[in-house]
Amino acid sequence: MGVLGSALIALLGLGAPIALALIAVTVGFILYDPLLSESAIFRSFFSFVNKYTLMAIPFFIYAGFLMERTGLIAKLFRFADALVGWVPGGFAYATILAAVMFGAISGSSTAMAAAMGVVAYPEMIKRGYPKWMAAGVIATGGGIAILIPPSITLILYGVLTDESIVKLFFAGVIPGLMLALSDAAIVLTMALITKLPAANFSWRELRDAAIDALPALLMPVFVLGALYGGVLTPTEAGAGACAYAMIYGLLSLRRKFVPEIIAATERAVNLTAILFFLLGGVGIFQFLLANQGWPQDIASWVTGMGLSPFGFLAVLMVVLLALSMFLTGVAILVLVVPIVYPVALSLGIDPIHLGVLFALCIEMGAVIPPVGLNLFAVSGTTGVPVTTVMRGSFPFLCSDGCVLFLCMLFPILTLWLPNIAVQSVFN
């Protein structure tokens, strides 16, 4: 195991893509072992990607790209501004609220950060917000999409562990709202210190903005309602979200939407191909782990150390945050989950609770340098230096850390909603 781990770390250190690194070291080990057949490589690759639940990921990715092309993001932002823009620092609140709403559509943190960088940043600067604060709000607000359903991160965790994706969706709601509230508290503090401006409230503007954004607001209602009612599986809900976005775009933009469909399809296909190649590499890696019995050995070793469940989670969270300095969220999931999942089960840790903690760490990792993707997404769309985005993100990163600690300390925050809202028949 030491040789395999060293080879994997060496390849990642040389800049090799995570999928190629996983496949390379695993294939090398399989070919070296006389008891393993080469056919195991292909069987494990295709058996892992040939999962029905995995189709939910490209569907929701595609739906997010389609909704982005319809202009509904700007309409969501207008509604959020009309709703909370009248309070001091209200435009920053509106940005966070729009992040929550768009997160319920796309499930993509980086996509949300990039989109809001285009829509929200120029207006925040126009209204007198400091560049560092405007960029920080957008970068950290994007991370909320990782928790709010349909979360791509939670779907992937569910596929890796065979846990209920529906339960994971509902488990992420309260922590996601806690992130939004904690970010709002930071904004309030900054607003009082820097005397940020506030807009005038208008019932007419709120009404008009709500009507304009109604199609976007109805999508998460449709997705979560169908899942909660047992009408659709997560995969079917993803397909329904695509159909919803497609129909809306064609009805609202007509022929102008056709080129947008092509562009959205191209982006979704490219991202899906990359992701599924990575998942195939994960399948090969998981086969090797199971064949060698390494997760069980690690579980026995950790159990023998006498760590409490909380102690184990505390150490794991520190490791995950450290890894986020060098690896993306997807890479962390595919590398760490297959190893620590059996250990967590042996310690009596609820796997749904564990999944949300993983998502929270990945959310924080999105703004932790040097890899933090949201930092670069905001910097690229706004022209603000990455160091300035980092400065603005730091207070929000601290508040997010408080949310992570509370969720780790009180599992009820993640488990209460799925326990009362999701029946055991859902998978």
pLDDT tens digits, residue range 198-239? Answer: 777 888 888 998 998 888 788 777 777 777 677 777 788 888
Is 80 exceeded by the pLDDT of residue 68? no
Name the percent of the chain lying above pLDDT 90.
12
Q: Are 336 and 157 in contact (CB under 8 A)?
A: no
Is 70 exceeded by the pLDDT of residue 256? yes
- Which pair of tokens denotes residue 292? 């060698």
Q: What is the pTM of this model?
A: 0.78
pLDDT by residue (tens digit) across 293-321? 665 566 666 666 777 888 899 989 988 88
The full set of domain ranges for the chain reads 1-36, 52-421
pLDDT band at 427 (very low <50, low <70, confident <90, very high): very low
What local confidence, expressed as pLDDT, does residue 195 receive?
78
Alpha-carbon span 285 to 30, nearest angstrom: 10
Q: Are 147 and 157 in contact (CB under 8 A)?
A: no
Which of 108, 21, 32, 37 shows the shortest CA–CA distance to 73? Answer: 108
Alpha-carbon span 290 to 271, nearest angstrom: 28
- Which pair of tokens denotes residue 189? 């503090």
Alpha-carbon span 163 to 160, nearest angstrom: 8
Alpha-carbon span 408 to 404, nearest angstrom: 6
pLDDT band at 59 (very low <50, low <70, confident <90, very high): confident
- Which pair of tokens denotes residue 219? 């999508």
Locus of tokens 């706004």: 382
User: What's the mean pLDDT in 71-77?
Assistant: 78
Alpha-carbon span 132 to 137, nearest angstrom: 9
Which range, 71-75, 117-121, 214-218, has the best average confidence (pLDDT)?
214-218
Number of C-beta neighbours around residue 256 at 10 A: 10
Alpha-carbon span 230 to 239, nearest angstrom: 15
